[in-house]
Amino acid sequence: MSIDYPLFVSTWTFGKPANEQSLKVFQGGGSILDAVEQGIHVAEADASNPSVGLGGIPNAEGVVQLDACIMDGEGQRAGSVAAIEGILHPISVARRVMDNTKHVMLAGDGARQFALAQGFASVELLTEERRTEWEQWRVQNHPPDNHDTIALLGLDSTGRLAGGCSTSGWGYKLPGRVGDSPIIGSGLYVDGEIGAAGATGLGENVMRYCASFLVVEYMRQGLHPEEACSATIRRVIAADPRPAEELALNFVALDKQGRYGAAGTGRGFEYAVTYPGYSQVLQSAALSDTDVGPEGGNRR
């Protein structure tokens, strides 16, 4: 079956309904950028999803702080918000930063005040379920196991690329902690001439290596998107002293030719691919400590 356009690729099983919304938005006359933004709304508004938007796991003080960014391959435009509180759709605030300001990134209360001035409503993002879990966490101090960011990439039939990502980040993080997701080149990178890549997993390990930028650079060198994700992970495995399992790195990628793929450490992860007539959850490539290639450099 040949690929039709628009094509959407995103992280995790919850990427599938997000992709399907993106397709609907595009088929309703939206641009690929509109489609990416509004697809991500699905994950942000889903209170049962503990790692994105409403119902996200709060920080150590019980406050939900969200990170998001968006990129338009046309004109290499970008917008981002970090540690924003009380706004349902940080991806749309990121888009307003891109469209309506001279800046790329707003953080903390400045981002929230900008959102309010742009007409976004103030909402309570902490659900009762997450509050109860947070109260238990304060007593037991068990580590949460959740960095399931949505990164969603789109390509239309004219070759226009866009991408976005959104997350509540590391559960019970220190207040003010910012992960990879709003950092252009770390949690997301779109090069309008080459392709797009997005990350999910332990943001600190993505940020140290500018890893989504690296995935796109490997595609620029001619690697297939899946191989570009794998090469990036092999390089980090080679450079980082910790075992691959601890790195929790996962990438999706899409090139301008409509090829796509994903790779992750450990058992890998599930990602979603959607285009007209097709919408499926697929399994990524999986990499471990033994997968260190020549591009990896010296294993310390």
Nearer to ligand GLY, 200 or 232 (CB): 200
- Which residues from 171-210 bind ligand GLY, rule CB under 6 A? 179-181, 200-203
How many CB atoms neighbour CB 129 within 10 A? Answer: 12
The least distance separating ligand GLY from the CB of residue 170, rounded to whole angstroms, comes to: 5
Does 170 engage in binding with ligand GLY (CB under 6 A)? yes
The least distance separating ligand GLY from the CB of residue 203, rounded to whole angstroms, comes to: 3
Nearer to ligand GLY, 89 or 259 (CB): 89
Does 284 engage in binding with ligand GLY (CB under 6 A)? no
Nearer to ligand GLY, 120 or 170 (CB): 170
Does 218 engage in binding with ligand GLY (CB under 6 A)? no
Does 167 engage in binding with ligand GLY (CB under 6 A)? yes
Nearer to ligand GLY, 71 or 292 (CB): 71
Single out the catalytic residue among 11, 149, 167, 265.
Answer: 149
Q: Which of 285, 294, 291, 225 is nearest to 253 (CA)?
A: 225
Residue 265 annotated in active site: no
Q: Which of 260, 252, 247, 259 is nearest to 287 (CA)?
A: 247
* Alpha-carbon gap, residue 155 to 260, rounded angstroms: 11
Does 149 engage in binding with ligand GLY (CB under 6 A)? yes
Determine the distance from the C-alpha atom of residue 224 to the mean position of all C-alpha atoms in its chain, rounded to a whole number. Answer: 20
* Alpha-carbon gap, residue 256 to 260, rounded angstroms: 9
Q: Structure tokens of 224?
A: 């297939």
Q: Give how many residues touch ligand GLY by CB under 6 A.
A: 12
Q: Structure tokens of 38?
A: 């509004």
- Which residues from 95-124 bind ligand GLY, rule CB under 6 A? none
Q: Structure tokens of 58?
A: 């709060």
180: Cβ contacts below 8 Å, ≥ 6 apart: 186, 187, 199, 203, 204, 206, 207, 211, 212
* Alpha-carbon gap, residue 229 to 253, rounded angstroms: 7
Catalytic residues: 149
Q: Name the residues that contact ligand GLY, by CB under 6 A.
A: 147, 149, 167, 169-170, 179-181, 200-203
